[in-house]
Amino acid sequence: MKNRNLILVRHGQSEWNAKNLFTGWKDPGLTEIGLKEAKNAGLLINKIGIAFNKMFTSNLMRAQKTGLIILDTIDQSDIQIIKNEALNERNYGSLAGLNKDDAREKWGEEQVHIWRRSFDIPPPDGESLKNTAERVLPYFNSVIMPQIKNGDNILIAAHGNSLRALIMQLDGISDQDIVKLEIPTGAPIHYAFGEDGSIVLKEKLYE
């Protein structure tokens, strides 16, 4: 009986990652390093030889571009690509576009740390990780997971916090522990599922 496969990839380094800026729903492109990370993700995925049925990504260019580079690298550019805002990065609200050091100067180290690392306290006009999970998980559970159970192999190219929300559910991680999880850019994570949707394998495809 064949497994159903899901690959999660956080986009490659963005121009704002490189400048230490809060990004959220802003839409910078990838750096040269980010382009290489996306290509490398494709090479890592290629080693396990999955034929994908669909790719899901966010409405933001850095995730879309990463996904397209991966598909090109594994010679599967002809599959269906679905873009949805539900997979967008967490909205950082008033923090978006600010340098993280400047934000600490404005609001204080402790307050910025709370906004970044608490599960349910959002920055001004923005989303907490809890808010992000409240849009990511219903979309995954109602749209993506049924297709996996049906036998499809799925690639998701998304963002640090939208993927945190997914991994929190898939791995059964607590509210307190999920905020500590670091997801590297361009680093694929592979899940394989049985027919009933239970996880039979999880592996990181990167060192």
| Contact call for residues 54 and 152 (beta carbons, < 8 A) | yes
- pLDDT tens readout for residues 99-142: 999 999 999 999 999 999 899 999 999 999 999 999 999 999 99
- State yes or no: is 113 an active-site residue: no
Q: Which tens digits make up the pLDDT trace of 76-105?
A: 999 999 999 999 999 999 999 999 999 999
Active-site choice (15, 37, 85, 89): 89
Q: How confident is the model at residue 2 (pLDDT cuts 50, 70, 90)?
A: confident
Does 190 score more than 70 pLDDT? yes
Selected catalytic residue, list 11, 37, 127, 159: 11
Residues 6+ apart with CB under 8 A from 139: 84, 86, 87
Number of compact structural domains in the chain = 1
The string of pLDDT tens digits covering residues 145-160 is 999 999 999 999 999 9
Burial 175-204 (b: 16+ CB within 10 A, else e): eeebbeeebebbbbbbbbbeeeeeeeeeee
Domain, as residue range, for 196 = 4-204
Is 6 in contact with 154 (CB distance < 8 Å)?
yes
The one-letter code for the residue type at 42 is: G
| Confidence tier at 26 by pLDDT (50, 70, 90) | very high
The upper half-sphere exposure of residue 177, i.e. CA atoms within 13 Å in the direction of its Cβ, equals 7
Neighbours of 138 (CB within 10 A): 11
Which residue has tokens 């959220």? 24
Helix (H) or strand (E) holding 43: helix 32-46
pTM, full prediction: 0.96
pLDDT at 1: 59
CATH of the domain at 158: 3.40.50.1240
